[in-house]
């Protein structure tokens, strides 16, 4: 057992004692019970496990928890502010960008990062920025529409 280490997850301090070699995905879902982040492949192929680590888009299935000591981690559960959903979340709802919804947390995290880097992406920039996140249900066209709508400021004002 490793000595406990500190993470800040969605703004809250957390102490965890990961197994050697444990991945951040396991830590977040099994230890911290934040199950929004999904397992799809465990090998950096699908993006279902996408989280932000100190603001960087990261496949949590590849990131070693030990290497994240002291880091700030954002998961899908951290996107809303209290009851108020983030613009991207509202846009995904309004444009039906989630079918089964399994890839959706990862898509939202990737889209969040994309818009942070580039508030006004072209369609092609959206495609490049989002191409690390697979969706087997085929929500891609709706994801593009949702991101474009947020970039245009359409979901800036909270609906509730």
Partner 1 sequence: MPRKKASPAPRKGFIKTIVEVEGRTETRVVEIPAFEPTPWGPDTALETVGTRAVRVDAGEKVTGQAKYTADIARPGMLHAIILRSWVARGTLVSVDVDAARKIRGVIDVIGPGDAPAKTRLFPRKVTYAGQPIAAVCAESLHAVTAGIRALRAKIETAPFAATFEAATAPDAPLVRSKGNVAEGSPVVNARGNLARGLARADVVIEREYRTPVQLHSAIEPHGAVAEWQGDQLVVWESTQGIFRTREQLAEGLELPQSRVRVIKQYMGGGFGAKNGAGPHTFVAAIFARRTGRPVRCVNSRKAEQSDSGNRPATTQRVTIGAKRNGTLTAISLSADIPLGVGGWEGGPGQLYHELYACPNVRTEETFAYVNASAMQAFRAPGYAEGAFALEGAINALAAKLGMDPLALRRRNYAKTDPRKKRPWSGNALLECYEQAAARFGWDTRDSRRGPAASRAQVRRGFGMAAQIWPTGGGPPAYAHVRINADASIDLLTGTQDLGTGARTILSQVVADAMGARLSDVHTVIGDTGSLPYTGNSWGSMTTPSVAPAARMAAEDARRMLLDAAAPMLGVPLGKLETRNSTVCVRGTDRSMTFAEVTKELGDVMIIGRGTRGPNPLDVSVATFGAQFAEVEVDTRTGVVRVVRIVAAHDAGRILNPTLAESQLEGGIIQGLGYGMFEERVLDPATGLQLNPDLHDYRIPTIADTPVIDAFCVGQADAAANHTGARGLAEPPIIPTAPAIAAAVADAIGAELHEIPLTPWRVLAAAGEV
- Binding residue for partner 1 (CB under 8 A) from 96, 122, 152, 158? 96
Applying the rule CB under 6 A, the residues between 50 and 69 that interact with ligand FES are: 59, 61
Q: Six-digit token pair at 135?
A: 């969706």
Closer by beta carbon to partner 1, 7 or else 130: 130
Provide, rounded to whole angstroms, the least separation between the CB of residue 154 and partner 1: 15
- What size, in residues, is the chain? 160
Q: Which residues pair with 81 in a beta bridge?
A: 84
Taking CB under 8 A as the rule, does residue 135 contact partner 1?
yes
Q: Which helix (H) or strand (E) holds 4?
A: none
- Residues 106 and 112: their CA atoms lie apart, in Å, by 10
Provide, rounded to whole angstroms, the least separation between the CB of residue 96 and ligand FES: 10
Taking CB under 6 A as the rule, does residue 137 contact ligand FES?
yes
Taking CB under 6 A as the rule, does residue 49 contact ligand FES?
yes
- Residues 62 and 143: their CA atoms lie apart, in Å, by 25
**Residue 49: which of ligand FES, partner 1, none does it interact with, CB under 5 to 8 A by kind?**
ligand FES
Look up tokens 């932000």; give the residue.
Answer: 52
Question: Would you say 143 and 97 are in contact if contact means Cβ atoms under 8 Å apart?
Answer: yes
Taking CB under 6 A as the rule, does residue 42 contact ligand FES?
yes
- Binding residue for ligand FES (CB under 6 A) from 30, 81, 84, 100? 100
Question: Would you say 78 and 42 are in contact if contact means Cβ atoms under 8 Å apart?
Answer: no
Q: Is the dihedral of CA 137, 138, 141, 147 positive or negative?
A: positive
Taking CB under 8 A as the rule, does residue 50 contact partner 1?
no
**Which residues here bind ligand FES, judged by CB under 6 A?**
39-42, 44-49, 59, 61, 98-104, 135-137, 139
């Amino acid at each position: 057992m490793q000595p406990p280490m500190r993470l800040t997850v969605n703004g809250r301090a957390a102490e965890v004692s990961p197994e050697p070699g444990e991945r951040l995905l396991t830590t977040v879902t099994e230890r911290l019970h934040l199950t929004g982040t999904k397992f799809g492949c465990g090998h950096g192929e699908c993006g279902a496990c996408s989280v932000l680590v100190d603001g960087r888009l990261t496949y949590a299935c590849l990131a070693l928890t030990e290497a994240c000591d002291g880091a700030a981690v954002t998961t899908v559960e951290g996107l809303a502010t209290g009851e108020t959903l983030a613009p991207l979340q509202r846009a995904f709802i309004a444009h039906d960008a989630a079918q089964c919804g399994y890839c959706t947390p990862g898509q939202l995290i990737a889209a969040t990062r994309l818009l942070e880097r580039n508030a006004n992406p072209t369609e092609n920039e959206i495609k490049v920025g989002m191409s690390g996140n697979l969706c087997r249900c085929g929500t891609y066209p709706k994801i593009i529409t949702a991101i474009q709508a947020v970039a245009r400021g359409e979901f800036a004002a909270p609906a509730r």
